[in-house]
Structure 1
Amino acid sequence: MTTPDHRFLRALRREPVDKTPIWIMRQAGRYLPEYRATRERAGSFLALAQTPELACEVTLQPLARFPLDAAILFSDILTIPDAMGLGLHFVDGEGPKLRHPLRSVADVARLGVPDPETDLRYVMDAVRLIRRELAERVPLIGFSGSPWTLACYMIEGEGSSSFSRAKALALDDAATMHRLLDTLAQSVARYLCAQAAAGAQALMVFDTWGGLLAPEAFRNFSLRYLAEVVALLKSDRVARNLPVILFSKGANGHLEALADTGCAALGLDWTIDIDEARRRVGARVALQGNLDPAVLAASPEAIRTEARRILDGFGAHPGHVFNLGHGITPDIDPERVAVLVDAVHGE
């Protein structure tokens, strides 16, 4: 499949664009009434994510409302642990849980690298369907959780504010943790390569919990494996041609090292000024971000002001993709999103 020269992809290549491109993390989500209706029809989040036709439907919903510059596959970051047999399920009000978390060295040793076209066929089918339905209106982003973030959930068995079990394993038995992370790096790379082959036009890795690590631990257990994933993608015949975006939330102290992984772009959370980030990484990578998601709960005037502050902070340089500093929250009025998109596009 050929890819038109979309402004989103041009920005990731740090080339001039007519307007700053924008997409929004979790742009297909509970803030949209049409998403809530589709999810209710599906019966559960998992049924929604694992039914390619429904995943396609909700992926396209925000594009029908807003002139966004990219679509992102509707899925979940815990698809890989589920394919490894850990039993992903969701509890209302509590989020994702794994029925069989890793509790021993033997548990880690038993893990294998999933085959995306068999163990995760529903994701690949969704990518193919979405790409076809998009008809090149905008590019499609595929994604995965990072090795460290997946390990956190696999060891803890659920979300956590500290992921102390994962940190303890890294300290007490680094060899086992590295074995787990290496398996996950291979799994993430293979998964993303399959998404590329199915039609994704950019790839994003969400290192959601990298910022929980102290500096040395971040380098050993997060950064090392992000770099490994990028290297594996660059060795793939199809994926090597796709831009890779790394988003390591809370890891602003490591921007230079993240830029050195060979990725095309870094996602930024909202706790750093974008002009500071650009000064630090220079022209090595594009930058994506970085509006505080809570701004969308403010007035239209405040939204426009904050959007302009970020645009001015980045300046008249190539290589900016506007986004939030994390995912949009369910309480947001869709009309506020429309205000933001128009403000970024200068309309």
Structure 2
Amino acid sequence: MTELTETPLLLKAARGEKVDRPPVWMMRQAGRYMKVYRDLREKYPSFRERSENADIAIEISLQPWSAFQPDGVIMFSDILTPLPGIGIDFDIVESKGPLFETPIRTQEQIDKLHELDPEKSLPFIKTILQTLSSEINNKSTLLGFVGAPWTLAAYSIEGKGSKNYSIIKGMAFNQPEMLHKFLSKIADAIAVYVRYQIDCGAQVVQLFDSWAGYLSPQDYETFALPYQQQVVRQVKETHPDTPLILYISGSAGVLEKMGQSGVDIVSVDWTVDMADARRRLGPDMKVQGNIDPGVLFGSHDLIRDRIHDTVRKAGNEGHILNLGHGVLVGTPEENVRCFFETSKGLKY
């Protein structure tokens, strides 16, 4: 197969180059709304097996590519994947989510953590990304992704999902020095992981700080933003030309601060009007998003109307069309198809 050398559309937009339409992909575009994924899950019930067995992860990553031809193909993985590589083990239980048998609660545990060696602890990532790169052959942009430090620390300290984050916030307010050391260690590991993904073929990398939206703006500035900046700074030192995206759910209160992280693109959730987000982030920041995933349960006319509205508000440059969160379970596949076909039919 001859390798295509033309820069794919999403990568062009992410770099700030002129494009003739907004590129489009969806967060969680591979997953439980697709029958082919549910069938595969029956065969491989363990999430970690699905995400850490290269052959399975490649197949899942390519399911939406085969079905809809999005402008971005994101590897099927999990934000927690690198944690065992620094000494924090976990399991993912179907319907319960991640569980940490020994949550991080002491300085001694933090001191025992080691640097990430992705070649050693994450060899499947190279296989996944290199194979995906070969398969899509620059007809689409290959996306990698990682969790951001606050969110990974929150999972590791809480020991599971949380509704109020009381344990990590208790540490933040009672033992801030210990938490800062932990966040810095995670930031160093994540920077190594981002660079590894890029070296393995990722053309754009998205950082998910899923739980940072539950911080007050003051605490976001103290415990989330500096460590986002630490990751971005280290990555940009070695890979200055790879665009980075930052996504936070529930980010309306910290949108401007997201723009201070050093990333190239801020992914906007659906609780903010896109025109307002553009105004708040300023003309130099590129944006991604931000259609409510619930719209995909509506009529095709509604889906088309919302796409046109969002694209009009985002303007004709520096915008990657996406949802404001991941595709919801139960979303009709024909509505996802309508979303992609409408988006790919646009012209600036």
Q: What TM-score, normalized to structure 2?
A: 0.95
User: Is 1:248–2:258 an aligned residue pair?
Assistant: no
User: Is 1:163–2:162 an aligned residue pair?
Assistant: no
Q: By how many angstroms is 1:83 displaced?
A: 2.4
2:313 maps to amino acid: G
CA distance in structure 1 between the aligned counterparts of 2:159 and 2:327, rounded to whole angstroms = 24
Distance change >3 Å, CA 199–CA 63, structure 1 → 2: same
Distance change >3 Å, CA 2–CA 163, structure 1 → 2: farther
CA distance in structure 1 between the aligned counterparts of 2:138 and 2:291, rounded to whole angstroms = 27
Q: By how many angstroms is 1:30 displaced?
A: 0.8
CA distance in structure 1 between the aligned counterparts of 2:144 and 2:252, rounded to whole angstroms = 24
Equivalence map 1:140-155=2 (5 Å)? 140-155=142-157
Q: Is the 8 A contact 2:47 2:94 kept in 1?
A: no
Q: By how many angstroms is 1:292 displaced?
A: 0.8
Equivalence map 1:1-347=2 (5 Å)? 4-236=6-238, 239-315=239-315, 317-346=316-345
1:252 maps to amino acid: A
CA distance in structure 2 between the aligned counterparts of 1:303 and 1:85, rounded to whole angstroms = 45
SS in 2 for 1:99: coil
2:29 maps to amino acid: Q
- Structure 1 gaps of 5+ residues are none
CA distance in structure 2 between the aligned counterparts of 1:157 and 1:81, rounded to whole angstroms = 13
Q: Is the 8 A contact 1:52 1:129 kept in 2?
A: no
Q: By how many angstroms is 1:285 displaced?
A: 1.8
CA distance in structure 2 between the aligned counterparts of 1:260 and 1:148, rounded to whole angstroms = 16
1:181 maps to amino acid: L
1:264 maps to amino acid: D
SS in 2 for 1:267: strand
Q: By how many angstroms is 1:2 displaced?
A: 8.1
Q: What TM-score, normalized to structure 1?
A: 0.95
Q: By how many angstroms is 1:257 displaced?
A: 2.9
Q: Is the 8 A contact 2:9 2:141 kept in 1?
A: no
SS in 1 for 2:188: helix
Percent sequence identity over aligned pairs: 36
For residues 126-153 of structure 1, what are the alpha-carbon distances to aligned partners after superposition, in whole Å with 9 as ceiling and x for unaligned? 1122112222221111110000000000
For structure 1, which segment, 253-262 or 190-199, has the greater mean C-alpha deviation from structure 2 after superposition? 253-262
Q: By how many angstroms is 1:337 displaced?
A: 0.4
CA distance in structure 1 between the aligned counterparts of 2:40 and 2:281, rounded to whole angstroms = 41
Q: Is the 8 A contact 1:86 1:99 kept in 2?
A: no
Q: Is the 8 A contact 2:87 2:114 kept in 1?
A: no
1:271 maps to amino acid: T
2:343 maps to amino acid: V
Q: By how many angstroms is 1:168 displaced?
A: 0.8
Distance change >3 Å, CA 19–CA 167, structure 1 → 2: same
CA distance in structure 1 between the aligned counterparts of 2:41 and 2:95, rounded to whole angstroms = 15
CA distance in structure 2 between the aligned counterparts of 1:208 and 1:44, rounded to whole angstroms = 23
CA distance in structure 2 between the aligned counterparts of 1:95 and 1:262, rounded to whole angstroms = 31
